[in-house]
Amino acid sequence: MNIGDVAERSGLPAKTIRYYEDIGFIKPRRGLNGYRHFDEKELHKLAFIGRARSLGFTIEDCRSLLALYEDKERASADVKEIAKQNLKEIDAKIADLRAMHTTLTHLIEECAGDHRPDCPILKNLGEI
């Protein structure tokens, strides 16, 4: 497979795949013309990374997960631990966003939204 096929099948842009090679996730062989050639295994690895990224795992998380994925001796406890940590971070982000939501909603409600120059949103933001 050339990079275009892998891009289509993995759902990742070709640019991103090259980037993932740069940072050492994959090492595809090269044809005589210099083109990258991918096998199914690399396709799976890329799909794996894509999924993990979309679940909010960082690149460094992916590195750990990939090491575990490839190591037949891996313990699922390790993976679970990483996932749990990730879940915690997701919860924290949700909490933050909810707080923002509440504050903003209040401000919007208080703001007349007509053309009067008095605006509680700006007022509130400027207070120390």
Partner DNA sequence: CTTGACCTTCCACTTGCTGGAACCCTTATG
Partner DNA sequence: CATAAGGGTTCCAGCAAGTGGAAGGTCAAG
Q: Give the C-alpha separation, 115 to 100, whole Å.
A: 25
- Footprint (CB under 7 A) of DNA, residues 41-100: 53, 58-60
Task: Region of 11 please: left (phi>0), alpha (psi -120 to 50) or beta.
Answer: left
How far CA 64 is from CA of 38, 40, 54, 95, 113, in Å, comes to: 22, 21, 16, 27, 50
Residue 27 or 116 with smaller CB distance to a copy of itself: 116
19 binds, among a copy of itself, DNA, none (CB under 5 to 8 A by kind): DNA
Q: Which residues bind a copy of itself (CB under 8 A)?
A: 9-10, 43-45, 47-48, 51-52, 54-56, 65, 68-69, 72-77, 79-80, 83-84, 86-87, 90-91, 93-94, 97-98, 100-101, 103-105, 107-108, 111-119, 121-122, 124-128
32 binds DNA (CB under 7 A): yes
In single-letter form, the type of residue at position 16 comes to: T
24 binds DNA (CB under 7 A): no
Where does 16-101 show beta strands of DSSP type E?
Answer: 29-30, 36-37
10 binds, among DNA, a copy of itself, none (CB under 5 to 8 A by kind): a copy of itself
How far CA 121 is from CA of 13, 101, 103, 118, in Å, comes to: 40, 13, 10, 9
Residue 23 or 100 with smaller CB distance to a copy of itself: 100
26 binds DNA (CB under 7 A): no
